[in-house]
Homo-oligomer: A and B are copies of this chain.
Amino acid sequence: MKILLVGGQGTIGRKVAAAFTARGHEVITAGRNSGIVQVDITSPDSIENMYRQTGNIDACICTAGTGYYGPFEEMTTQLMMPGIEGKLLGQVNLVLMGKNYLNSGGSFTLTSGIAAQHPARNGTCVAMINGAVNSFVLGAAQEMKQERRINAVSPGLVEDSNERYGAFFPGYNLVPMNKLVNAYILSVAGAVNGKILKVYS
């Protein structure tokens, strides 16, 4: 399979890329400042340009995007916009624009997160974005043609992020990276469609 992995240089992306490469797939990483092709997912033009470079693909995985984490008291919609334009609308556009480049039977795998259901303190913006991604996937899955599929992987606090982010998530159980990677493999190589693959407990 020819797999486009947006965010392939991130904490999660690197492990996902390694897993699919080890399984014999061709992985094209895409990132803002790294990867095989460059893309700024906040820009529809940049997304279109990326797909033109990759040509048709069998799977698109996105592990890119984040959102405002900070005091609720100080939160404004302006502070929320980068996350809305990136992790939310960026991922939406990867699907809306990418479905023309996705082969029959291919799949999209977006990334949401535990905050959709269990937001941490200061995490209301990210909660909102993750909830939006999940429900987008539920709707989009019904509209996919020619056996195309779409799922969301919803990670909890992953092992590899613990040092950097653990302090912001007191009481959150650490998710083993191999369990998270398996969710991406299930989405791409399995038959699931319209699923929110929750990787947390």
Q: For this complex, into which size category does the number of interface residues on chain A fall?
A: 35 or more
Known: A92-B77, A143-B121. A134 touches B131 (CB 8 A): yes
- Residue A84, interface by CB 8 Å: yes
13 more contacts with CB within 8 A, not counting A77-B93, A124-B142, are A77-B89, A84-B84, A88-B132, A115-B135, A118-B138, A119-B138, A119-B142, A125-B139, A127-B138, A128-B132, A128-B135, A131-B134, A131-B138
- Residue A177, interface by CB 8 Å: no
Please indicate the chain B residues that have their CB under 8 angstroms from the CB of A125 in the complex.
Answer: 139
- Residue A116, interface by CB 8 Å: yes
Nearest chain B CB to A135 CB, angstrom units: 3
- Residue A156, interface by CB 8 Å: no
The reply to whether B77 and A140 contact each other, CB–CB distance below 8 Å, is: no
The reply to whether B135 and A121 contact each other, CB–CB distance below 8 Å, is: no
Q: List 18 A-B contacts (CB under 8 A).
A: A72-B139, A80-B92, A88-B128, A92-B128, A116-B131, A116-B138, A117-B138, A119-B138, A124-B136, A124-B139, A124-B140, A124-B143, A128-B132, A128-B133, A129-B132, A130-B135, A131-B132, A131-B134
**Per-residue CB proximity of A138-152 to B under 8 Å, as 1/0?**
111011000000000
- Residue A75, interface by CB 8 Å: yes
Nearest chain B CB to A65 CB, angstrom units: 14
The reply to whether B135 and A72 contact each other, CB–CB distance below 8 Å, is: no
- Residue A44, interface by CB 8 Å: yes
The reply to whether B72 and A140 contact each other, CB–CB distance below 8 Å, is: yes
